[in-house]
Structure 1
């Protein structure tokens, strides 16, 4: 290699070192893309769009929501894992992020290829049926399933999703058998439940609360430890006879591994300020969502705890993907 080539390489390396802090210093100076690895109209998508509006107001930059659904969120996650680590491509994932590693082989390493930025929201699920369903309570559904094992169906937004896991826990704890009908997203699952094509569904409250309120779905129970303020007349699963049953979905934001710490800090600040905005809080609570806004360290520990919890459940219940 010539002296000139060495000099050019040294200059390029020095420029790269100088450019990185400069790019971090003025972050964000262009549009941010929130990649939602689920279909439009589902719970994570609805929440992401509320957050995106608030982030635009806080950051002064456009925040675009892009849906890349499939494989219980792993397709969209894989896309973000390969993205440039500059803070402009952000994964807005859900509970599936902690479920996927214990259920399937992934084309990425969640621990190495992502950096957790913040848990955004937490939300219970609502066990819903069609308005014409013969079941008025969870007890009705359990009794019918005991009398006719394997005859009744439940939907999920994909194999290995929290909707499936919640139903599998119910099956175990109630001693019943039901058939899993997976969909490619929460929206199509909900449509078929409304139409009576599938019997029940542990729907994310963010995507189903409005349908329950307007009578297009009937709520049998909620998975939270206490009743939802938005549905004060709907009992919890625990109140309905399944003691200790508690399942929550969550959403959080991640950036690709290698993203500069200063960018992560600034992005977290934007998210934290967004989740404190009264207009954002009101919209999120209207969907049954509780804002969180944890810091990267807290969110990282939460993820470890979640993965450990679901690993135990999968092993104890011998849960396999369809």
Structure 2
């Protein structure tokens, strides 16, 4: 190739790079150009729903578009996730328990989508440890007493969704401690909480953000939290690890995912706004007062986290033998 040809090739390459950058800037500038939907794949009132409604208004103000929250429960959260994965309007987002989504491929043999290929993370938002709670009438005040009671009395464990993070966490606790209980499935955390309050089920594990108000109101009794250290809001409540579930820790990680085909520039814009909003002092304080920690991750960090969660929970599911069509 002659020196002139090399110069022409270099100029063409620089022109193409500049054009691509300009197109990316235009994409970010023009997105969004219509209503943005945040799909919550569970019933209203659960942890994901609380977070979604907390960010919807400020996100709409930042993007200068209407942002609506749509609850699309079913198939343990997979119905809503599948709809977002297959959407092609560029304006449909998924807010869910990221761990639950990472567990699904290990539990369901016939998923209509692949979470690691058809979705990509926009931003992690918050973490809420699981709380182990019981109906106030249950004569147990710690994990050891509950385990002993479960071996002599019928014990129904409310499952926020089959294959969800609280469900698999409950199975892990049972495997570690020898507890015996029957899992009763629901379509979301709010329904599981409601039935446990009503005494139709006796035991529940669920995210602290959605469960703490019922504990504070005396409607549920907390026996432990599934965190490495005690929660400042409940300093007298021991962790499950302290009570015999050695090394056990679980919780609800809330994040926003988008279809894999979303343009990178639009994804970067969305991610930046989400992280800015969730880190705002008012929202951070509001969530902290309810037991949720603001915990942000960029799209790259989110991808790594999802891969690790999928791998670690696959081992737990394999030991449990849980498989669903």
Q: Normalization by structure 2: what TM-score?
A: 0.88
Distance in 2, Cα, partners of 1:20 & 1:128: 49
Does the 8 A contact of 2:24 with 2:265 survive in 1? no
Q: Does 1:186 align with 2:192?
A: no
Distance in 2, Cα, partners of 1:58 & 1:281: 17
Deviation (angstroms), 1:178: 1.1
2:277 paired residue number: 274
Q: Deviations over 1:53-78 (max 9, x none)?
A: 33234333322111001111110011
Picking from 230, 234, 237, the partner of 1:234 is 237
Picking from 118, 132, 135, the partner of 2:137 is 132
SS in 1 for 2:31: coil
1:299 paired residue number: 302
1:308 paired residue number: 311
1:82 paired residue number: 86
1:142-221 equivalence runs, <5 A: 142-148=147-153, 151-221=154-224
Deviation (angstroms), 1:321: 4.1
Deviation (angstroms), 1:283: 1.7
Unaligned runs of 5+ in 2: 1-21
1:13 paired residue number: none
SS in 2 for 1:293: strand
Does the 8 A contact of 1:50 with 1:283 survive in 2? no
Picking from 248, 251, 265, the partner of 1:248 is 251
Deviation (angstroms), 1:19: 8.4
1:65 paired residue number: 69
Distance in 1, Cα, partners of 2:251 & 2:32: 32
Distance in 2, Cα, partners of 1:102 & 1:159: 12
Unaligned runs of 5+ in 1: 1-17
Distance in 2, Cα, partners of 1:255 & 1:274: 18
Superposition CA RMSD, Å: 1.8
Does the 8 A contact of 1:85 with 1:259 survive in 2? no
Aligned residues: 302
Deviation (angstroms), 1:286: 2.2
Deviation (angstroms), 1:20: 8.0
